[in-house]
Amino acid sequence: MRIGIDLDNTLADYRRPLERLCHLHGVVAVQADPKLALRDELRARGEEHEWTRLQGELYGPLMREAELFAGAAETIRHWKTAGCEVCVVSHRTKHPFVGEKHDLHAFARQWIGEQPLDVAYLFFEETKEAKLARITSLRCDVFIDDLPEILLHPRFPGGARKILFDPGLSHSARPDLPSARSWAEVAALATLS
Ligand SMILES: [Mg+2]
């Protein structure tokens, strides 16, 4: 069995750097999801450009403050022991759209290398369509992502089971999209045949 996993906000938990950015920008209403709180506040202030720039920092140098989601390492180790192959497929541009020209792939590679993770493949795809093509060519049996628009995309391969990783309960439940609030729930869903 081959299991595909998204990187940002599925394996990498940005809560810590996001809370710091919220604090720096005077965003006090940090609800369940500091990313949405920061984005919505900056948009409300007409600072969409600043939000775009901050994402380049977050997925660049600030990624070193991100933590692996609790339970992910144990779950992946268990899958490996059971003979599964684990692939990470990330949708990331090489450089941010605005701001400093960080190498976002290099920051992600470095972060992954520092985690207690043993992944067979790590792919970066610059567009959503390229990511879907990669999931298809890898013939993943399961794919785990925090974005419904990837899992529900018409080009998402029919043979792959979908698991929405939604720790902040940001999305409403849908019968065609099994969702997990934690990596323990991911583990339980992935083993259901
Ligand atoms: Mg993601």
Given a cut of 90, whether residue 85 has pLDDT beyond it is: yes
102 touches 19 (CB < 8 A) = no
165 and 111 housed in the same domain: yes
32 and 87 housed in the same domain: no
CATH code, domain carrying 118: 3.40.50.1000
Which amino acid appears at position 85 of this protein?
Answer: E
| Percent over 90 (pLDDT), the chain | 89
How many A from CA of 133 to the centre of ligand 1? 16
Query: Does 119 or 10 have the greater pLDDT score?
Result: 10
43 and 76 housed in the same domain: no
Q: Whole domain around residue 46: which residue ranges?
A: 15-65
21 and 78 housed in the same domain: no
Which residues surround the ion ligand 1 when the cut-off is CB under 5 Å?
A: 6, 8-9, 146
45 and 9 housed in the same domain: no
How many A from CA of 1 to the centre of ligand 1? 22
What is the spatial distance between Cα 56 and Cα 68, in angstroms, rounded to a whole number?
19
What is the spatial distance between Cα 160 and Cα 144, in angstroms, rounded to a whole number?
10
What is the spatial distance between Cα 86 and Cα 73, in angstroms, rounded to a whole number?
12
How many A from CA of 136 to the centre of ligand 1? 17
Number of domains in the chain: 2
48 and 33 housed in the same domain: yes
44 and 106 housed in the same domain: no
How many A from CA of 10 to the centre of ligand 1? 6
25 and 9 housed in the same domain: no
85 and 179 housed in the same domain: yes
How many A from CA of 81 to the centre of ligand 1? 25
23-51 confidence digits (pLDDT tens): 999 998 666 789 989 999 999 999 999 99
Q: Determine how many CB atoms are found less than 10 A away from the CB of residue 20.
A: 13
61 and 131 housed in the same domain: no
157-193 confidence digits (pLDDT tens): 999 999 999 998 889 999 999 999 999 999 999 986 5
56 and 150 housed in the same domain: no
Crossing angle for the helix pair 72-81 and 183-191, nearest 10 degrees? 30
130 and 161 housed in the same domain: yes
